[in-house]
Amino acid sequence: MLTAKLEYFSKQPKTFLLVLESILVIGVGWVDYITGPEYSLLLLYLIPVLTTAWFVGKWASVAISIESAIVLLVVDLVWQKHSSDTVALYWNDLSNLVFFFLVTYIIASLKNAFEREKHMASTDALTGVANRRRFYELAYAEINRLKRYGHPFTVCYIDIDNFKLINDTFGHGEGDNLLRLIAESIRNNMRRTDVVGRLGGDEFALLMPETGADAALNVVDKVRALQDIAQNRGLTITLSIGMVVYLSPPENVEEMIKRADALMYSVKTSGKNSIKYEVVGRAEPDRSEM
């Protein structure tokens, strides 16, 4: 439940969160004024500083830190207006501000490290697209969406024909460059809602949410155009593609991938450089070949 709440807050507009944190600081200041100088509420002032640094950003947290220090100073001045030791009061408030800045720096650094680790854990190191684990996570989410709302989706299994020959002829370095080129070309030609993942070796998968056969084939046609891009670099490549349109959900991602892989393998054994697809969810699945 905590993870879900954190995810919810991370998706909120940053301006909204910043305003909310600013109001929270004022609220803490009001409580601080009511409770009086006998109780220190410094830890409560830390809450908006911490959450702003994590959910909004470092510079926004700096602004909240300054606001918190000002509110603290005002409350202290109100309660100690008859005190002659004003210098100590200002010094304490400056110390609080430095403390807030230090906390901001630490939390912002931790958030950056967390985001880097999260990105590395979900991204293929060579191509920069989603790795197998991340692709499976998104595919499971799409299956659940289909079960709940009935929105179709399409998955493609893409294999580079004769990739081993390219490695043997031009070297593994050129093979890696080709994989990067293909991943970049797929990303450039797919829609923002689509997901491309590298499942291993020279095999990629493309997930297209809320997409039927016609729309999916339009995307795949654009993907196949990357063969011309490779040709410009002196490489002749073709793609074998298996595509499955799901109008009803598969049991799991493994079944989904296996079905698209089987279609791709059928293309391989029947001449390569083509696409086969089927539509799942009708009385009799519609099988076609291009």
pLDDT in tens, 231-290: 666 667 788 999 999 999 999 999 999 999 999 999 999 988 889 999 998 544 444 444
Give the pLDDT mean for 88-98. Answer: 88
Can you give the pLDDT at residue 44?
93
d(CA 200, CA 168): 18
Residues 196, 231, 197: CA angle, nearest 5 degrees: 10
Q: How far is CA 55 from CA 41, 52, 60, 118, 121, in A?
A: 22, 5, 10, 15, 20
The helix, strand and coil proportions of the chain, stated in percent and rounded to the nearest 5, come to 65, 15, 20
d(CA 42, CA 31): 12
Render pLDDT for 7-66 as a digit per residue (tens, 0 to 9): 677 778 889 999 999 999 999 999 999 988 888 899 999 999 999 999 999 999 999 999
Can you give the pLDDT at residue 83?
55
Number of other CB atoms surrounding residue 45 within 10 Å:
25
Render pLDDT for 175-230 as a digit per residue (tens, 0 to 9): 898 888 888 888 887 888 899 999 988 999 999 998 888 888 888 888 777 766 66
Can you give the pLDDT at residue 79?
81
SS3 readout for 234-272: CCCCCEEEEEEEECCCCCCHHHHHHHHHHHHHHHHHCCC
The pTM (predicted TM-score) of the whole model is 0.68
Can you give the pLDDT at residue 121?
83
The tokens of 35 are what? Answer: 């409770």
The tokens of 150 are what? Answer: 């009935």
d(CA 218, CA 52): 43
d(CA 202, CA 100): 50
d(CA 173, CA 167): 8
3-state secondary structure of 1: coil
Q: How confident is the model at residue 81 (pLDDT cuts 50, 70, 90)?
A: low
Can you give the pLDDT at residue 190?
83
Contacts of 34 (CB under 8 A, 6+ apart): none
234: left (phi over 0), alpha (psi -120 to 50) or beta: left
Structural domains of the chain in order of their starting residue, each with its CATH number: 2-122 (no CATH), 132-289 (3.30.70.270)
Give the pLDDT mean for 73-80. Answer: 85
Render pLDDT for 122-174 as a digit per residue (tens, 0 to 9): 899 899 999 999 999 999 999 999 999 888 999 999 998 888 888 888 788 88
